[in-house]
Amino acid sequence: MIRSRDLSIRKKLIAAFVTITVVALILSGTSLVIASWFNEREAAMSELETLAELIGANSRAALIFEDAAAAEETLDTLRIWPDIVYGSLHDTEGTQLARFVRDGDGEAWSGPPALGEKSAVYADGIITVASPVIFDNQEIGGVVIRSSMQSRLDRLARNIAISFIVLLVSFLIAMLIAVRLSRSFTDPLRKLSSMMQRVTEHHDYSQRADLDQKDEVGTLANGIDRMLTVIEEREESLEKSHKELEETVSQRTAELLEANTRLKEELREREKTETELQQAHQALEQHYRKFSLLSQMNDRLQICHSIEETRPVISHYIQKLFADGIGGALYTFNDSHSLVEALVSWGEQEPAEETFEQNDCWALRQGRAHIVLDPAGELICDHCKDDISGPYMCIPLIGYGDVIGLLHLRVNPEWKDYESYHATEELSQLGVSASEHLALALANLRLREELQEQSVRDPLTGLFNRRYMQETLEREMARSQRAGDSLAVIMLDIDYFKKFNDTYGHDAGDTVLRELGELLANIIRDDDVACRFGGEEFLVIMPGISRSVAEQRAEEIRQAVKLIKIQHKGKRLEGLSVSLGIGLYPEHGDSVEAITNAADAALYKAKELGRDRYVVAKAKKPGEKAASQTS
Amino acid sequence: MTLKHCKLFLAAVAFLFCDSMAAAAPEYEVKAAFIYNFSRFIDWPEEPEAKKDLYFCVLGRDPFGEALENLEGREVQGRTLTIRRLERIEERGDCAIIYISPSLSGDYVALLDILSRDRGVLSISDIDGFAENGGVIELYLENNKVRFAINIEAARRTGLEMSSQLLRLARIIEGDGS
């Protein structure tokens, strides 16, 4: 369905105009037809009434004298009106006197006669008029006339047809006028609207209607033109300001972006700085912690008396210092300075080699740190080439100018900070630092040990002196007493010692003594203590040994001495032998003196028996024992 | 027989009966009515003083009997119809209508001659040849119905004006019988 507001004004105008015209014409035509129909009917009726009266008047005599022929004659005059189909005259009784029937209309009408009143009735296209005939104020009969409305209806139809044609013509004329008129309205409107469309689509505000009309549309067009001029000006100024705004915005955006970039950079830098600071702080803390550990370790090491005592201290602190995936070992040279031995080792990567030679390590050979970051592409020390898989470093321990050991550190490749060179750097620094501390502490200890040794040892033979022997024997005897253990003392003396001095010179005796000291130091167990008792006498303390084992040892020593080959100034010294006396605790007494005396007595017994043999002291009698205690 | 046929039959019977009634109506009753009705279609000449009564005079033996009594006193053109019976013509006075009885059929020509000099006298008779002999209206029977003939010349001579309607119903006699 088309809604009226969707139609163009032109169509609306045409429709309105034509509708109004057609409606007006139809209404007027219809009313005209209806009016003319009623008029016609009225006219016909009044005509018929007049006719009826006339006929009645002319038929008075015929009625009065009941002359049917005359009456018929009169009625016959109705023939000249073609519409009249019937006429009749009757007397007051209602008896019909005469009638007229139109030819061809066949059956006659037989309605009621007209009596008293005049009447006019229309029915079925026929008007029936009845009129009484009055004569001298007396009703003498009646007339009935019936007339067909056919011709009038025909006329009416003709009129309707003409009206219809007029309607059609009017419609066409109205259409024409409407089209012309609407065009005069809508053409300028269309022009205006298409202009407005151009304006809207292309934003071209320079468009103008330029209608040369003085009517309302012209006024509208002029108004729109003026409005467009105003809009155009505003648009221009708006565009200008918009451009300025855009420029400002883009400028501001660029500035903002720049500022943002700067800010970001600053932030990044600040973050970096902060991270660095934090790292530095952490490093510092770490350093502080490490160095405080180092210093603690140093303090503890200071109060150690021997290298041996340092072992748990170093083990404790070094594991704290080098935690986090770092393992290693601390090696020290042995007494003869031929090998390095592991003093402490720790970590998952504990080195396999417990001892190795100086030449096996590049650090020891060079006397400075050897750091390997990539084991695949650098020189690897022999001592660790079999079990190394990551970076490692060997740092020599240098105390008082001497290389006294080696700090070996290896980094676990699985370690999270493995990649970090910084860690390695730090590690090496810490390593060096630790090595310095350790070296100093160990060197000091060594020095102290040496000093101590110098005070307890015989300088010629390297064995303990008599004072140390005294202390040791007392300590050992007390210990054996507590433990209910036994103890043996072997005293030995070089046979015919004067003969060497006499034969080979004074130095030869010293050489013999030194060689024998060395032999004793080597042959005895670790628990045993060998001492120079004085002159050419030596004493070996053997804790926890039974008589038979003591005898066996004594025999071993005797035989070993016999096998020593001593060179002195290109000459071979021969005929060296020793005599040995064995004293036993608790068999031979419970004091140092008693035991040593018993051993001494046994030694003299061996000398007496011919030398180059051992003798076990005789068991003392209770009285003697008491006597010896008192002395 | 259907109802329709029955009705037709009854109508036919009624018609015949009515016809026979008319035929059986006394002739002079009809003639009296005729005479009265003539007076309604005829204008008498104006006279200086209008007479109130319209005299209907019967000359000779009265054949109407009771019929005339019905007409006595009726209004005709504003005048009252009054019946008079005359023995002789001289008694006529200002009679407007004079009926000459058939009893005077031997003398009527002489009587007409007398009347021809009168003005405004309507002479009526049912004597055969009355109109041809100068009478104004002659009543006669035709097919058992009362008819009339008018001598226009006679009417004009005496100054009566006949209605055309009346003339149309009458047998017109032209020329003067006298």
Starting at the edge strand that comes first in sequence, how are the strands of the sheet with A402-411 ordered?
A355-357, A339-346, A326-333, A402-411, A392-399, A370-372
Residue of A nearest to B42 (CA): A61
Contact across the interface for A61 and B18, Cβ inside 8 Å? no
Contact across the interface for A64 and B40, Cβ inside 8 Å? yes
Residue A357: closest CA among A336, A376, A388 = A336
Residue A367: closest CA among A395, A336, A399 = A395
Q: Is the pTM of this model over 0.90?
A: no
Contact across the interface for A95 and B18, Cβ inside 8 Å? yes
The amino acid at A89: L
Minimum distance, in Å, between the CA of residue A44 and any CA atom of chain B: 27
pLDDT at A92 over 90: no
**pLDDT tens, position by position, A398-430:** 888 888 888 888 887 776 666 665 567 777 888
**Mean pLDDT for all residues in chain A:** 84
Chain position carrying tokens 């009434």 = A49
Task: Transcribe A124-135 into DSSP letters.
Answer: TTEEEEEEEEEE
Question: Would strands A326-333 and A339-346 be described as parallel, antiparallel, or unpaired?
Answer: antiparallel
Residues of B in Cβ contact (< 8 Å) with A70: 168-169
Interface residue A73 vs chain B (CB under 8 A): yes
Interface residue A55 vs chain B (CB under 8 A): no
Interface residue A65 vs chain B (CB under 8 A): yes
Question: Would strands A537-543 and A529-534 be described as parallel, antiparallel, or unpaired?
Answer: antiparallel
pLDDT at A493: 92
pLDDT at A59: 86
Q: What is the mean pLDDT of residues A548-572?
A: 89
User: Tell me, what DSSP letter sits at residue A112?
Assistant: P
User: Tell me, what DSSP letter sits at residue A382?
Assistant: G
Question: Would strands B145-151 and B122-125 be described as parallel, antiparallel, or unpaired?
Answer: unpaired
Minimum distance, in Å, between the CA of residue B58 and any CA atom of chain A: 21
pLDDT at A542 over 90: yes
- Of B18, B75, B169, which is closest to A65 when you measure between CB atoms? B169
Please tell me which residue, A589 or A117, carries the higher pLDDT value.
A589
Distance CA B26, CA B70 (A): 14
**pLDDT tens, position by position, A326-355:** 888 888 888 778 888 888 888 876 777 788
Q: Which residues pair with A370 in a beta bridge?
A: A394
pLDDT at A625 over 50: no
Chain position carrying tokens 């000291």 = A517
Task: List the single range of A83-87, A567-571, B173-177 with lowest mean pLDDT.
Answer: B173-177
Give residue A206's pLDDT band: very low, low, confident or very high (50, 70, 90): confident
Residue A393: closest CA among A377, A380, A376 = A380
pLDDT at B7: 52
Residues of A in Cβ contact (< 8 Å) with B34: 65
Return phi, psi of residue B87, to 5°. -90, -40
pLDDT at B23: 37
pLDDT at B178: 46
**pLDDT tens, position by position, B143-178:** 888 899 999 998 988 888 888 888 888 899 886 544
Whether residue A155 contacts residue A32, with contact meaning beta carbons closer than 8 Å, is answered with no
**pLDDT tens, position by position, A470-492:** 888 998 999 998 988 999 999 99
Contact across the interface for A62 and B41, Cβ inside 8 Å? no
Number of Cβ pairs < 8 A linking chain A and chain B: 27
Sign of CA dihedral A164, A170, A172, A175: negative
> What are the residues whose beta carbons fall under 8 Å from the beta carbon of A591, sequence distance 6 or more?
A477, A628, A629
CB atoms within 10 A of CB A513: 21
Rounded (5°) CA angle A322-A327-A330: 85
Buried b (16+ CB within 10 A) or exposed e, A192-227: beebeeebeeeeebebbbebeeeeebeebbbebbee
Interface residue A216 vs chain B (CB under 8 A): no
Contact across the interface for B165 and A136, Cβ inside 8 Å? no
Please tell me which residue, A472 or B48, carries the higher pLDDT value.
A472
pLDDT at B1 over 50: no
**Mean pLDDT for all residues in chain B:** 80
Please give the structure tokens belonging to residue A26: 């139809």
Distance CA A432, CA A500 (A): 53
Please give the structure tokens belonging to residue A424: 């390695």
Interface list for chain B against chain A, based on CB atoms closer than 8 Å:
18, 34, 37, 40-41, 75-77, 163, 165-166, 168-169
